[in-house]
A and B are shown apart, each in its own frame.
Chain A
């Protein structure tokens, strides 16, 4: 694998923040467009649409007069939370739920969801249960297999674990995953 491909994989493993950036840009652009409209109306000597810019500045400087304190506090909290959302999006690494499969020619990334459904299929065959009785959760370093056995049929936990681990070994994912199998204490009837 070349350095170029490693860079591609690294880039694919993190979020680009494109969606929230577009959202932020649209919000700022709309606010700026409104302010532009009002200030151009002022330049042209027309009557204001909603509020005259000098009046707006005067009202702002007179806060908290002219508005109920509770409403003002709520507006402040909302603005703060919006800012916090943007700030956290900028600071948090934003790893995507993906793993890498090494290959000699191409760079391969797999969504965790796809890994989970492949492992669920393998575990289902090993346990001999229906689709609805299995839930597999894949996170960055662990796989959790939850099985609700059919009532009256005992399942071999070690055998299911071995089957899932064999499938994972065949995938050779990076970073490697550890498997925990959890059999529910209660069984299901009539699935």
Chain B
């Protein structure tokens, strides 16, 4: 439920995959089929001639550099920036404000804002959950999912713990938190298993 651009991820991966597949198939064809190799040498040889011609016409100053390479560098720089921003967009969408309610004068006579930080809900849930011995790991994070602040609770129960019991217990806990805060925040509970729950003892006296 984070803001990872899933559509963009798939689109860019798809385009990149297609391009690499075409290049790979081309290399194999050049390596194995003599006719393809001949065609490649003829076609790209013409381009190389064109390129060196262009280079000799686009001298930059007296040191012999060509501004063609400046253009190439600018393009590559843009490509690098695009890739870095693509990486930076993964997993974004964390938020810090749970609730922002502007007060008005006919509400209770005072103008002003009420802001609840996400840390309120996160820490309340986390401390309540860490007391439970059937849960080995708890993490609570808040995301802005489609304009609405939502909490994501990830718990790693001990081996053999029934997930529906965990779900109903945490559901009751969240309902108690609703009453405490006075707002209903969308909550996602994700029950998983990590390395710690896999390797610690399953049996436990209840």
Interface residues of A (CB under 8 A from B): 2, 4-5, 7-9, 11-12, 14, 16-18, 20-22, 24-26, 28-29, 32-33, 35-36, 39-40, 42-45, 53-54, 57-58, 60-65, 69-70, 72-73, 75-91, 101, 103-111, 113-115, 117-118, 120-121, 131, 167, 170-172
Q: For chains A and B in complex, what number of residue pairs have CB atoms within 8 angstroms? A: 265
Q: How far is the CB of B72 from chain A (nearest CB, A)?
A: 5
Which residues of the other chain, B, contact A72 by a CB distance below 8 angstroms? 27, 30-31
Which of chain B's residues have a CB closer than 8 A to the CB of A18? 4, 9, 90-91
How far is A82 from B55 in the complex, measured between Cα atoms in Å? 34
Contact of B1 with A76 in the complex, beta carbons under 8 Å = no
Q: How far is the CA of A88 from the CA of B146 in the complex (A)?
A: 28
| B17:A103 contact, CB within 8 angstroms | no
- Partner of B73 from the list A39, A70, A78 (CB cut-off 8 Å) is A39
Q: Which residues from B are CB-within-8-Å of A108?
A: 163, 167, 171, 188-191
Interface residues of B (CB under 8 A from A): 1-2, 4, 6, 9-14, 16-32, 37, 40-41, 44-45, 47-48, 51-52, 55, 60, 63-67, 69-70, 72-73, 76-77, 79-80, 83-84, 86-87, 90-91, 145-146, 148, 150, 157, 159-164, 167-168, 170-171, 174-175, 178, 186-193, 202
A-chain residues with CB within 8 Å of residue B157 when the two chains form the complex: 114
How close is B144's CB to chain A, nearest CB, in angstroms? Answer: 12
Q: Provide the residues of chain B in CB contact with A88, threshold 8 Å.
A: 17
Given A7-B146, A76-B24, A57:B51 Cβ within 8 A: yes
> How far, in Å, is A58 (CB) from chain B's closest CB?
5
Q: Check if A73 sits within 8 Å of B27, measured CB to CB.
A: yes
